[in-house]
Amino acid sequence: MEWIGPTWVEVDLDAIGNNLTTLRALTKAHICPVVKADAYGHGLTVTGLFLQQQGVRLLAVSDVDEGVTLRQCGVTVPVLILTPLLPQQAPQAVLHNLTVTVTSKELICTLAGLGQACRRIVKVHLKINTGMNRVGIPPESALEYARLIAECPYLMLEGVYTHFAEADHNNGFTRKQLQRLLDVKSAFTSSGLENLLWHAAGSSAFFTLPESHLDLVRIGSALFGQTRVGLPSGAALENTWNLYTRIVQVQRVAKGAPIGYNQRYTARRDSVIGVIPVGYGDGFGVFPDNFDLWRHLRSALVKLVRKPHQVSIDGCDYPIVGKIAMGLSCVDLTEHPRALELIGVPVRVQARRTTISRRIPKVYTINGKPALIYRHCCYWRPVVKNSELYAIAVSVKTAKEIIERRNRDGQDS
């Protein structure tokens, strides 16, 4: 039995399940959960297994590695790879029965050859560029590609899709993109190409443009409780993810004293400063950045007005102060009535989910209680002893049973 350590991510499986139910009630389309980026930081394997047991028809991932990981942990539902493959990646995709997004004739030929060699039907979705100008073939080439696929006995065109560029705030452009896809659909229908899965919407369009639901919606952020757009009245999404860590040091700091690297912050009053063992090495406080003068000026301005990162203790927020270092960050605890007694106390850290390091253990809760832990690439059964969380290693089979039990009767293990 091992203590799980000072820092962990808590994932609420019930909340993911409830969000799926909420989304299903709002559409006739199939929900295809997008579980790329380690399931948006929720852990690819447990989230994938959980969603499979929730009866989803298809899962979407970014790349072949994620697809293979899902297969290796026992996910058997179809898995769509969203990013175009390089030829070197194609054998893995075919071997693991993954569904491939195709956007080039070369890839179609490679997959056709591999399918034939393995005597395996390779399912493909054709991606149409309707305005994002990132990935996809021009709409006017779609029929030609579909015919090419149809000529390959070991390829099966299962779906056709596009991706919206700004469905969170530009319905006019999104409608144009949708129309371009619908024009392709009409051309396919006129040519006798039917019974395909047509898809376009992600989370934002799911709410802002219901007519874009088509046969299937690819949903990531909303499933995990986040959206950039308003929800229909009566609908609510639950928070699914929290990062916790424990305060490892607390000290008094006099007014005017600098805190952390580069004296980035100076105490504005006599303060009590706590230290938490997370930093940019854990993906905390990391933002994508390119060197660009305008961006830097803008980000300097934003920093002046933006609320700093916060941690919460008993529902109250305390700001991170000073530079976030590789493995440590400082918190101004001065306002806390018992600030000097907080060593070892867990705090909730507001963080970007997808950047948080995968090496931080994930504690999955069911009915509000820890039910399963994913740590060091293994599954563990949680044990609470003296109010502390410990873990006992278990097999993937046991992990699956714990998730299945939740789905069967909503019970904790």
Ligand X SMILES: Cc1ncc(COP(=O)(O)O)c(C=O)c1O
Neighbours of 11 (CB within 10 A): 25
| Nearby residues of 195 by Cβ (< 8 Å), 6 or more positions away | none
Closest CB 34 distance from ligand X, rounded Å:
4
- Of the residues 70, 82, 193, 311, which one makes contact with ligand X according to CB under 6 A: 82
Strands 59-61 and 241-246: unpaired
Do residues 36 and 261 touch, judged by C-beta distance below 8 A? no
| Nearby residues of 412 by Cβ (< 8 Å), 6 or more positions away | 366, 367, 369, 371, 406
Which one of 3-11, 115-123, 196-204, 262-270 is the stretch in contact with ligand X (CB under 6 A)?
196-204
Closest CB 23 distance from ligand X, rounded Å:
10
The residue whose two tokens read 């579980």 is: 35
- Of the residues 17, 33, 43, 202, which one makes contact with ligand X according to CB under 6 A: 202
Which one of 68-76, 218-226, 243-251, 326-334 is the stretch in contact with ligand X (CB under 6 A)?
218-226
**321 pairs with which residues across the strands?**
330
Nearer to ligand X, 8 or 206 (CB): 206
The residue whose two tokens read 């030609």 is: 144
User: Binding to ligand X (CB under 6 A): which residues in 146-165?
Assistant: 163
200 binds ligand X (CB under 6 A): no
| Residue nearest ligand X, Cβ-based | 220
Containing 372, the helix (H) or strand (E) segment is: strand 369-375
Closest CB 58 distance from ligand X, rounded Å:
12
Nearer to ligand X, 32 or 399 (CB): 32
Which one of 107-115, 145-153, 216-224, 254-262 is the stretch in contact with ligand X (CB under 6 A)?
216-224
Structure tokens at 349: 């850290």
Nearer to ligand X, 9 or 60 (CB): 60
User: Binding to ligand X (CB under 6 A): which residues in 363-402?
Assistant: none
- Of the residues 56, 94, 219, 275, which one makes contact with ligand X according to CB under 6 A: 219
Nearer to ligand X, 115 or 202 (CB): 202
34 binds ligand X (CB under 6 A): yes
Instruction: Please state, in angstroms and rounded to a whole number, the distance separating the CA atoms of residues 10 and 281.
Output: 19
Closest CB 124 distance from ligand X, rounded Å:
15
237 binds ligand X (CB under 6 A): no
Nearer to ligand X, 219 or 324 (CB): 219
Contacts of range 257-261, beta carbons closer than 8 Å, 24 or more positions apart: 258/322, 259/321, 259/322, 259/330, 260/321, 260/322, 260/323, 260/325, 260/330, 261/322, 261/323, 261/325
Instruction: Please state, in angstroms and rounded to a whole number, the distance separating the CA atoms of residues 176 and 130.
Output: 8
203 binds ligand X (CB under 6 A): yes
Alpha-helix runs per DSSP H in 35-141 = 36-41, 44-53, 64-72, 90-95, 105-118
Query: Residue 181: helix, strand or coil by DSSP?
Result: helix
19 binds ligand X (CB under 6 A): no
23 binds ligand X (CB under 6 A): no
- Of the residues 33, 136, 139, 220, which one makes contact with ligand X according to CB under 6 A: 220
Answer left, alpha or beta for residue 247, where phi above 0 means left and psi between -120 and 50 means alpha. beta
User: Binding to ligand X (CB under 6 A): which residues in 89-108?
Assistant: none
Structure tokens at 296: 């830097």
42 binds ligand X (CB under 6 A): no
213 binds ligand X (CB under 6 A): no
309 binds ligand X (CB under 6 A): no
Structure tokens at 383: 């044990």
Do residues 327 and 277 touch, judged by C-beta distance below 8 A? yes
20 binds ligand X (CB under 6 A): no
Strands 329-332 and 271-276: antiparallel
Instruction: Please state, in angstroms and rounded to a whole number, the distance separating the CA atoms of residues 273 and 252.
Output: 6
Summarize as ranges the residues that interact with ligand X (CB under 6 A).
34, 82, 163, 202-204, 218-222
